Structure 1
Amino acid sequence: MVTIKDIAKRTNVSASTVSRVLNFDETLSASPETKQKIFDAAQEMNYRTVKSRRMQSRNQKSEPAKREALKLGMVLLQSKEEEASDPYWMSIREGIEKECALQGIHSLKLIRLQRMEKVREELSQLDGVLIVGRIDYSILQSLRECNRNIVLINQDSNNDEHDAVIFDYEKAASLAMDHLIEHGFKLIGYIGGTEKISIEEGPSLKKIYTPDARKSVYERKMKEHSLADPALLFIREFSIQAGYDLMKKAIDQGRLPQAFFIASDSMAIGALRALHEKGLHVPKDVAIVSFNDIEMAKFTSPPLSTVKIPTEEMGRLGVRIMIDRLNGRDMPIKIMVPTTLMIRESCGAKHGIVDS
């Protein structure tokens, strides 16, 4: 039987790190590349955790070897670098991996979308596919030709062809904007990013951009309250570095907003750093509400007020409804998870929560 030490030897990392990764220890700070190397080695060596062996024993009484034989794919629209810079996507991925382990599913193939021809070939060999992130409709239709058992996570299926696990982007973003407006802020800035998919087409790289609902809600809310000003919008890619650079730009332009809605916690962390370097205090000089509620959000200085998205549970739910589909359900279903405004110190309001 393959042991933790065998995997540690193959991957050249410590046995304790291997154990913590395979048991999904959320306090571990290993890189995504290290985690993936360990997961790949465990799968190649047919290693199973104690929990998955127990779950398999239970399942065999009613479904002999059925789930163990399933081959699922997890399609990530983000590059390795993008995933590493934004814990939001990693949390969804970990939810999928944890639920597969719990359900006794041992074949979960990680697929990145960048090389379409290879992706199409891989999808045709799988029982089902979980797609993480917002994907262009034409690309989705192309993937559907290879595998019709698709669950979308973090994107709605507008034509109701696919299962989907989503949250209401507009409602969630409205929680942030309404909170700032109701607390009397007039000069509200927006720091956000663009979501894009890079696809290889022959020798060239095609970039497909997806509109962001958070920016749309910000613009609509500002217009509704006669507060709109294009000079308060700061957009680049989603990353900590971009949040830092855009906040520096906002400071340097000489008309710093009283408050910011920042479209991701990662960007907000970068923005906090830029404000700190300039000697500006949050929330006394600038209030901030961000988005996602990653683990780090409660440990920043000051802790971030942010809209909580239950990302890990979205990943888990995706696996559950995929199993349900593979067990014979034909009708597509949609699960909408709730979002919550976590009020901490960065917005200047009292502690508490507001549910959507």
Structure 2
Amino acid sequence: MATIKEIADKSNVSASTVSRVLNNDHTLTVQAKTRERILRVAKELGYETILERRLKQKQQDTKHVGIMLTQSLDEEISDPYFLSIRQGIEMELAHNGIKTATFRLHETEGNQMIEELDGLIVVGRVKESTLKAISRVDNVVYINHSPNEDLYDSVVINFERATEKALRHLLATGYKRIGYIGGKEMEHLKNQKLLSEDKRLTTFERYMKEKNLYDQESIFIGEYTMAQGYQLMKKAIQASKLPEAFFIGSDPMAIGALRALQEANLHVPEDVAIISFDDIEAAKFASTPLTTIRVHTKEMGQTGVKLLLDRLNGRELPLTVTLPTELVIRESCGGK
């Protein structure tokens, strides 16, 4: 790269004049023709100002990160759990000045933009083989799922521990006949949906069997929506023996279930107690405020971004971060 002195010699001016012109010093009095000559010579010699070098370096340093959502748009709208994770991701990426592109898994096949990314944050469940089929991005962080902890960073919660926490509270409060209302976890591909294990359900089944309290007829499975929570609770009410309490897999489903109980003139928690899962904003404003398992979803998203940035800065050892959950006690199931 040319020096200030070389530009000064070719422009027939002093080096200090060249320096002040190239750094856009407005206090300098110099003829327009002289200024134009200095700039022309600097360009011919390939000189870059400090400002230009900083701008080029900043452009080179700017990272491009993709957010891959494994949920359909309808699922994200009906259950704020994943929406809150995405908002946490977007907030943290924006705070770090990182450019982003958002994809849904079933829409990504053949998308060349994914190949150009510096990193990818995957929200939800997707098989490792599926991801490799659609992306060759090296730096990947999974949120709410960990397909291979020896290869990928991930941010998760312990669904088993959280479910046991809810069930222990119900048992400690005196309930024995406990039912389950939940949805199905799906992996969305381009032309199909694959059913995945829901650890809330499998943990409920295992734990209740260990306590000799399991009743298959008290389990009701549909979709993770408020409408399905309403319909499944109606189905439970119409059955021969209504449980004393329910663990419900999401707050939106629990809000729907509350409506069904109210229509049947059943009171919560006097007739039926409820513990749900998520602690979305609406949980404390439900017709009967919900006792629920709080999941720090926004922090899950923010933590995922921090892990990815750490990877991009050179860390090679994959990390799995498990965020804690907590039981929030409200009116739908009292006790301590």
Q: TM-score range by the shorter chain?
A: 0.7 to 0.9
Q: Do the aligned partners of 1:136 and 1:208 also contact (CA within 8 Å) in 2?
A: no
Shift of 1:237: 1.2
What one-letter code is carried by the residue in structure 1 that aligns with 2:165?
A: L
Partner residue in 2 for 1:344: 330
Q: Do the aligned partners of 2:296 and 2:325 also contact (CA within 8 Å) in 1?
A: yes
Q: Do the aligned partners of 2:149 and 2:319 also contact (CA within 8 Å) in 1?
A: no
Partner residue in 1 for 2:193: 207
Taking only the aligned residue pairs, the percentage that are identical comes to 48
Give the alignment partner of residue 95 of structure 1, picking from 70, 79, 88: 88
Whole-angstrom CA distance in 2 between matches of 1:98 and 1:232 = 41
Q: Do the aligned partners of 1:130 and 1:151 also contact (CA within 8 Å) in 2?
A: yes
Whole-angstrom CA distance in 2 between matches of 1:92 and 1:118 = 26
| Mapped pair 1:302 → 2:295 | no
Shift of 1:132: 0.3
* Matching of residues 262-273 of structure 1 within 5 Å: 262-273=248-259
Partner residue in 1 for 2:300: 314
Whole-angstrom CA distance in 2 between matches of 1:222 and 1:167 = 21
Whole-angstrom CA distance in 1 between matches of 2:189 and 2:211 = 40
Q: Which runs of 5+ in 2 are unaligned?
A: 1-52
Q: How many residues align?
A: 283
What one-letter code is carried by the residue in structure 2 that aligns with 1:290?
A: S
Whole-angstrom CA distance in 1 between matches of 2:59 and 2:320 = 25
Q: Do the aligned partners of 2:125 and 2:144 also contact (CA within 8 Å) in 1?
A: yes
Shift of 1:197: 2.2
Question: TM-score of the superposition, structure 2-length normalised?
Answer: 0.81
Q: Do the aligned partners of 2:149 and 2:318 also contact (CA within 8 Å) in 1?
A: no
Whole-angstrom CA distance in 2 between matches of 1:155 and 1:97 = 19
Whole-angstrom CA distance in 2 between matches of 1:332 and 1:239 = 34
Question: TM-score of the superposition, structure 1-length normalised?
Answer: 0.76
Q: Do the aligned partners of 1:157 and 1:163 also contact (CA within 8 Å) in 2?
A: no
Give the alignment partner of residue 260 of structure 2, picking from 264, 274, 282: 274
- 1:228-263 per-position Cα deviation (integer Å, ceiling 9, x unaligned): 111000001111111010000000113110000000
Q: Do the aligned partners of 2:128 and 2:147 also contact (CA within 8 Å) in 1?
A: no
Shift of 1:290: 0.5
Q: Secondary structure at the residue paired with 2:137?
A: coil
Partner residue in 2 for 1:112: 104
Partner residue in 1 for 2:69: 76
Give the alignment partner of residue 143 of structure 2, picking from 144, 153, 156: 153
Identify if the C-alpha distance between structure 1 residues 134 and 228 changes in structure 2 by more than 3 Å, giving closer, same or farther.
same
Whole-angstrom CA distance in 2 between matches of 1:99 and 1:92 = 11
Q: Which runs of 5+ in 1 are unaligned?
A: 1-59, 351-356
What one-letter code is carried by the residue in structure 2 that aligns with 1:330?
A: E
* Matching of residues 167-246 of structure 1 within 5 Å: 167-200=157-190, 205-246=191-232
Whole-angstrom CA distance in 2 between matches of 1:158 and 1:315 = 19
Shift of 1:190: 0.1
Q: Do the aligned partners of 2:182 and 2:220 also contact (CA within 8 Å) in 1?
A: yes
Whole-angstrom CA distance in 1 between matches of 2:65 and 2:131 = 17
- 1:173-215 per-position Cα deviation (integer Å, ceiling 9, x unaligned): 1111111122221110000010112322xxxx22111100000
Identify if the C-alpha distance between structure 1 residues 68 and 101 changes in structure 2 by more than 3 Å, giving closer, same or farther.
farther
Q: Do the aligned partners of 2:89 and 2:304 also contact (CA within 8 Å) in 1?
A: yes
Partner residue in 2 for 1:18: none
Whole-angstrom CA distance in 2 between matches of 1:67 and 1:219 = 53
CA RMSD between the two structures: 1.8
Give the alignment partner of residue 139 of structure 1, picking from 110, 125, 130: 130
Shift of 1:140: 3.0
Q: Secondary structure at the residue paired with 2:307?
A: helix
Q: Do the aligned partners of 2:279 and 2:295 also contact (CA within 8 Å) in 1?
A: yes
Whole-angstrom CA distance in 2 between matches of 1:324 and 1:66 = 19
Whole-angstrom CA distance in 2 between matches of 1:92 and 1:276 = 32
Shift of 1:159: 4.3
Shift of 1:101: 1.3
Shift of 1:93: 0.5
Give the alignment partner of residue 115 of structure 2, picking from 108, 124, 133: 124
Q: Do the aligned partners of 2:140 and 2:152 also contact (CA within 8 Å) in 1?
A: yes
Whole-angstrom CA distance in 1 between matches of 2:147 and 2:237 = 40
Partner residue in 2 for 1:55: none
Q: Secondary structure at the residue paired with 1:283?
A: coil
* Matching of residues 13-32 of structure 1 within 5 Å: none
Report the structure number with the largest CA radius of gyration: 2
